[in-house]
Amino acid sequence: MPLHSRYNGGVRFRIRPFKKADFRTLWRIDQACFEPQLAYSQAELDFYMRRPGSFTLVAQDGAADDGTESERDKNKDDSAQGKRGSTDEIADSGILGFIVAESRRRTGHIITIDVVEKARRSGVGSALMQAAEEKLLRAGATSVALETPVNNAAAIRFYKSEGYFAEKTVAGYYSNQMDALVMTKALASTS
Ligand SMILES: CC(C)(COP(=O)(O)OP(=O)(O)OC[C@H]1O[C@@H](n2cnc3c(N)ncnc32)[C@H](O)[C@@H]1OP(=O)(O)O)[C@@H](O)C(=O)NCCC(=O)NCCS
């Protein structure tokens, strides 16, 4: 898939399908993106990623594609010395974010979208959403729905910028009893 370039953040990346070896890094990213009560356990993330009709797309740092030294290469020696933590593990992978989505007949559903903090506001989230929506459209979806915590202002702004509208709130949707905002977007005309 093509490389995307954004010069304001200097982030180059490509969107690719999930590989089995990515799983632990994606879980680490999810843990870093959300507070403990909202982040998925490994079992939950695995469950959503494997559900029938579900797919996962990954945003991969483009540095490895153009011969630039990647974070992974720079950190090889540290790794050997066993000094590395989860933040380093994420940097080593070159993964900047991911999206899990599923198609349920004519409705697509975004399960989660997570972008690492250092890569935000560089178009990574937008590229992941567009790639997922294209895939959902090809699977026959005419609309997409998602839920987000009512207090996640950044995500709500992001989804609105992607063309999603707030449809309703669902009281106590999350395990911490936080309400969810359900947002939807029409992908194609139903006529
Ligand atoms: C929400 C999230 C996925 C956005 O990813 P991103 O890569 O930063 O998004 P993009 O760079 O593609 O942003 C596209 C547009 O969305 C809007 N937007 C994104 N983040 C925003 C923020 N923090 N505040 C206001 N608007 C924002 C802007 O209009 C932005 O365009 P601009 O940068 O040209 O102004 C990312 O912030 C994230 O992973 N957050 C933590 C996890 C999360 O909350 N996920 C949503 C689960 S419900």
**pLDDT at residue 83, rounded to an integer:** 53
pTM of the model: 0.89
> Which atom of ligand 1 lies at the shortest distance from residue 116's CA?
39
Ligand 1 centroid to 176 CA: how many Å? Answer: 23
pLDDT digit string, tens, across residues 131-151: 999 999 999 999 999 999 999
Residue 72 has phi, psi (to 5 degrees) of -60, -45
Q: Is the CB of 30 under 6 A from ligand 1?
A: no
The domain over range 3-139 is classified in CATH as 3.40.630.30:
yes
Q: Where are the domains of the chain?
A: 3-139
Q: Are 57 and 132 in contact (CB under 8 A)?
A: yes
Q: Read off the pLDDT of residues 24-80 as tens digits, 9 standing for 90 and up.
A: 999 999 999 999 989 999 999 999 999 999 999 999 998 755 444 445 445 444 444
Of 183, 123, 186, 127, whose CA–CA distance to 152 is shortest?
A: 183
Name the pairing type of β-strands 143-149 and 107-115: parallel
Structure confidence by residue, pLDDT tens digits, 119-135: 999 999 999 999 999 99
Q: Which atom of ligand 1 is nearest to the CA of 112?
A: 47
